[in-house]
Amino acid sequence: MSTLLEVLAWDRDRPVLHDARDGWLTAGSAVDTVYRLARALRERGCGPDRMAALFGPLSTGLYLCSHAVEHVGGGQAEVPMGLPAPEYVRLFAEFGAGFVVADPEAADAPALRAVAAMPGVRLLTLGAAAEGEDLLAELDRHSPEPFPPQARPGAPVRVGLTGGTTGRSKPVVRVFTEKMPDPRTIWYARMVAAHGPGPRVVLAEQLSGVGRTLMNGVLAVGGQCVLLPDFDPPRVAGAVQAHRATHVFLPTHQLRRLLDHPGAAAADLSSLRCVITGGGMMTPALLNRAVARLGPIVYSSYGQTEAGNIAWLEPEHYTGADAEARRSCGRPVPGVDIEIRDLQGRVLGPGERGRVWVRTRLLMAGYLNRPEDTARVLRGGWLDTQDIGYRTEDGLLVLLGRARNAIAVAGATVFAVEVDAVLQEQPGVLDSATFGVPGPDGETLHSAVVRDPAVPVEAAALRAAVGERRGAAYAPSSVLFVARIPYTRSHDVNWDLLRRWHAEGVPDDAAEDAAKAAPAAPTSPGAGAAGATGQADLPLR
């Protein structure tokens, strides 16, 4: 961060950060606030080998505080919002957090009380609160004068949580290195600068590692960042229009919601030069819809908490290309090597499916306090991503899904993305998620589908379309029409919840609106949620 602070200090009057609470903040004020916060944290003992958990939605204050923690050499943990208080206590204990820095306007009061009661944890707040110490109230007594970074190479710099798609989320540790700044910041800075001067990016919801790095890159090349505390399609579209944003960063499922939402349809998004997405599979149908609405400005990133950015899909990869290129993750980013290996470790050739192994300059140090899990995926400087995929003849990486999510159906190995790519091409299908359900005779395949209320969609027709394109083993045994596909806080499809809906029925808050739903094919008598003959028999509201 010290390099970025020096860059900002040269242009102190430039507005750089905006959120709804504080409006625009200049570069000079941002730099002064970081140094003041850093002194306040250092006075309380934050520094090398001490962990601070950042607790709150995306905001100017939390972003600057994250850099203050880094400047004094402390480690910081990224914490999702919306968890119950006991889960926060468990997470902070697992991280070994000595400090929790919370946004009191957004943090749940029971969670703050629970954290304040934790032994050995100091609760600090960005504003007045019933619990903790208000850091902002004392900033004026701390000097804004620069001082050297206190980081020690080898000490933890960041702990992030995996998506949990291979089990419970695991804490991933990265450490300070001699190589500063972060090469990802340099890469993002070059990327946004290539789209023209004066980049202005809109980001929403969480202060993720990717989002923070993108912000650093934008600010380093003279740009500005507009921050929203949560994702709301009309609000995001309105922010792009109002601020004439050039870049927007959205996870894949949020991009889909932006395209689907009628409240965002009328917004003027013509200022956008680049839409950055990731965190989920990009089907050709979704890419085509995004390009039709926004133009060929969609860029998709594939990465993992353990490895950072791995591959990058650019317009030149998919414009005029076939479906295989449009469903790919693009090419490796600079400094990343990718190999496709079989279970014996043999490197496979183009078109051959296997495990995706990567070697990057940003590999994790390991999973926190989980040496066996670390040894299972890190070998000789390479990471087993636990994803299955293949390389095309042109060198593009195509992902099929997590190895553990492969579905064995009638002797075939099926991946959800292969079914969903077909489903999402069908008229009236807005979104879908395919999943397997274990049974006494093996797994069966099922799909949850979000349909356009204005277009008739029948389950039998969807099943037939998949069977004709991919084969009988790929045709889902049942289709659940739902109002939304559930996602985890790390933006992955919530497979466990889909299986529960399949077994128990879709709850009211996720059930389709019967008044708006198009007619569907009748189900067999008594088919139920596990029926194998078309649409599941679910209450529609």
Distance from C-alpha of 274 to C-alpha of 200, rounded to nearest angstrom: 10
Report the predicted TM-score, pTM, of the whole model to 2 decimal places: 0.86
* Predicted local distance difference test score (pLDDT) of residue 164: 59
Q: Which CB contacts under 8 angstroms, 24+ apart, belong to 222-225?
A: 222/11, 222/14, 222/197, 222/198, 223/16, 223/192, 223/198, 223/199, 224/14, 224/15, 224/16, 224/17, 224/18, 224/198, 224/199, 224/200, 225/16, 225/17, 225/18, 225/200, 225/201
- Phi, psi at 272, each rounded to 5°: -65, 135
* Predicted local distance difference test score (pLDDT) of residue 80: 84
pLDDT tens readout for residues 139-186: 999 999 999 999 999 999 999 988 755 457 899 999 998 765 677 788
Whole-angstrom CA distances from 177 to 38, 70, 152, 336, 515 are 20, 12, 8, 18, 58
* Predicted local distance difference test score (pLDDT) of residue 279: 81
Task: Give the chain's domains with CATH numbers.
Answer: 1-177 (3.40.50.980), 406-535 (3.30.300.30)
Paired tokens of 403: 């190895």
Query: Which runs of consecutive H residues, i.e. helices, occur in 390-526?
Result: 416-423, 459-470, 495-504
DSSP tag of 474: G
Residue 529 has pLDDT above 70, yes or no: no
* Predicted local distance difference test score (pLDDT) of residue 228: 96
Average pLDDT over residues 200-222: 92
Residue 526 has pLDDT above 60, yes or no: no
CB neighbourhood size of 508 (10 A) = 9
* Predicted local distance difference test score (pLDDT) of residue 181: 61
- Phi, psi at 217, each rounded to 5°: -65, -40
